[in-house]
Amino acid sequence: MAVYGISDLHFSFTEQVDMANLGLAKTAKPMDIFHSRWREHYALIRESWQERVNIDDTVLLAGDTSWGMKLEDTVWDFDFLHQLPGRKVLIRGNHDYWWQSLQKINDFLPDDFSLLQNSCMTIEGKAVCGTRGWIIPGSKGFGEADEKIFHRELLRLEMALTQGKKTGLPLVVMLHYPPCNEKNEKSLFIDLMESYGVEQCLYGHLHEVNPEKELLKENWGIRFSLLSCDYIDFKPILLWGE
Can you give the CATH number for the domain in which 15 is found?
3.60.21.10
Specify the number of domains making up the chain. 1
Supply the range of the domain harboring residue 114.
Answer: 2-241
What is the residue type of 234? Answer: F
Q: What is the mean pLDDT of the chain?
A: 94
Render pLDDT for 18-34 as a digit per residue (tens, 0 to 9). Answer: 998 988 899 999 887 77
Render pLDDT for 195-215 as a digit per residue (tens, 0 to 9). Answer: 999 999 999 998 887 766 767
Element spanning 58, H or E: strand 58-61
Q: Where are the beta strands (DSSP E) in 92-229?
A: 113-115, 119-123, 126-130, 171-174, 200-203, 218-219, 222-226
Query: At a CB cut-off of 8 Å and minimum separation 6, what does 111 contact?
Result: none
Render pLDDT for 99-122 as a digit per residue (tens, 0 to 9). Answer: 999 999 999 999 999 999 999 999
Q: What is residue 67's predicted lDDT score, i.e. its pLDDT?
A: 96
Q: How far apart are the first and last CA of the chain?
A: 6
Q: How far is residue 75's CA from residue 80's CA, in Å, rounded to a whole number?
A: 9
